[in-house]
Amino acid sequence: MKKIIIKKPYFLFIAMTLVGCQSNPNKPPHEEPTYDEVLDIETMAMGWTQLQQNTLNNLREKNFGQAHVNIKQMMTFAGKDSEKWEYIRMALVSMPSDLALELIDQALDKPFIKQSLAEQFAFTRVLTQLKAEDKALEVLNQVIKEDKTPEFVYWRARLYLLMEQEDLAEKDYKWLLKQEPKNTDYLSQYVTLLNFLGRNDEAMSLLQDNEEDVDLLFRQIILLIQKDQENLAVKKLGHLKVLAKDVELTADQKLEIGELAFWLKDYDYSMALLQEVKSGEHINKAKLLMANVLVEQGQYDRASVMYHQVQNGPEEHAITAYQLEIELYRKQGDMQAAMATANSGLRMFKNDTDLLYSRAMLHGALDDIHALEKDLQKILQSDPQNPDAMNALGYTWADNDINLDQAYDYIKQAHEQKPNDKAILDSVGWIYYKKGDLDKAEKYLRLAIENNTRDAESYHHLIEVLEKQGNNSEAGKLKARVKELFPEM
């Protein structure tokens, strides 16, 4: 549709200029009005609604220079109206950072903003969204110095986490919990921090004292799974199901608990919760999880239908749906269908790194090393530091006794990026084995099997290393452990 431009009549500008001159009797009669004075006059004549529309249009069209002028006009117009300032903040988030930060500095200098801690606090949120954490913290500390409220301190704690200042974040969370010991948000965030710091016993102690809250009990079960205490996790899930009956769960809670129930193999409860998710922004996630439940129940055709439905949706979910359908066919041993799905996905989302990786793994399963290399190297061309591609390519070379030096370099780079990744730890151990360093091979393979009950390959690699060392007794014990953990093998 052709854009319609409405031109102002010439006499309007003259009239505004005259009004501007009359409004300042001390100004010499022949002095021209300043740019800011003309801008203020135009602003008042234009009106707030028109300013909003102009700002929105310029932001949509990425006319950021003109949007900058519009927002400056809006700041003049806003006065002491908090709703108008909130609209300004929404507009600032859509601006390039350098332009937005300049306007925020001007806004923070306005008398109304300087006199309102709530308004200053609101700008710290905008600064955080613009990734100007240092400036956000500076403003926020000034606000807290004036009034140390839980709302302000809670935001600062989260800001400290973004800035990787965990010690200061912990100090704020402890203060918050002194004010409100049973506040679910504070407890949940503090538990997340403790978990990140590896202080899982402290996290578990906090959670065990608050088992009557759905979210906190959910977090406790996740921690139990991480600690490989699945039997206790299943027991706690039973308690969670009872609690959830008396609570109106949000769509996010249904998704989270539904996925948790899936991992703990309570498929009926998982499906019942996920089927209740109807909202547009959550429905594709729910369908993906329901399809996974159907796969575990052996209902492959129904699962495939759901994957196809999601493949027609937004890209962020569609790519995952392609990957899951590929794994479905691999699970059935139908490599031809798996490859056809991968190719179909790559036609739709050309050179997507996740789909290229999935297809590379199919090539590996079919012993087509050349095709595997081609897909992984295509990933590395666009993303040279992709740890999964480097690890997969390095491991493949090591396993086939080719390019061992380059394989070592790739695997070590991947390990530097993801030092706790079990698959990469297995690769580190395996490349050391291939290079003849059995002690380091054993060290990393033991790390790979630690708390790992889902991947048998690392156990087999360690058994091979132990046998090579002549430690047949330890190797025998590990073989028995593998039979216990993976009875289907």
Q: Per-residue pLDDT for the chain (489 aa), expressed as one digit of tens each? A: 333 333 333 232 222 222 333 334 344 444 555 545 444 555 554 678 888 899 999 999 999 999 999 999 899 889 899 999 999 999 999 999 999 999 999 999 999 999 999 999 999 999 999 999 999 999 999 999 999 999 999 999 999 999 999 999 999 999 999 999 999 999 999 999 998 898 989 999 999 988 889 999 999 999 998 888 999 999 999 999 999 999 999 999 999 999 999 999 999 999 999 999 988 789 999 999 999 999 999 999 999 999 999 999 899 899 999 999 999 999 899 999 999 999 999 999 998 999 999 999 999 999 999 999 999 999 999 999 999 999 999 999 999 999 999 999 999 999 999 999 999 999 999 999 999 999 999 999 999 999 887 789 999 999 999 999 999 999 999 999 999 888 876
The alpha-helical segments, DSSP class H, found in 246-296 are 251-263, 267-274, 280-296
> Cα separations (Å) of 409 from 20, 398, 426?
71, 11, 15
The answer to whether the beta carbons of residues 79 and 107 sit under 8 Å apart is: no
> Cα separations (Å) of 437 from 95, 149, 228, 432, 468?
55, 57, 30, 5, 11
This model's pTM is above 0.75:
no
The alpha-helical segments, DSSP class H, found in 334-456 are 335-348, 353-365, 369-382, 387-399, 404-417, 422-434, 438-449
Residues 6+ apart with CB under 8 A from 29: 21
Binning the chain into helix, strand and coil, the percentages to the nearest 5 are 75, 0, 25
Residues 6+ apart with CB under 8 A from 337: 329
- Name the maximum alpha-carbon separation found in the chain: 103
Q: Which of 153, 221, 212 is nearest to 182 (CA)?
A: 212
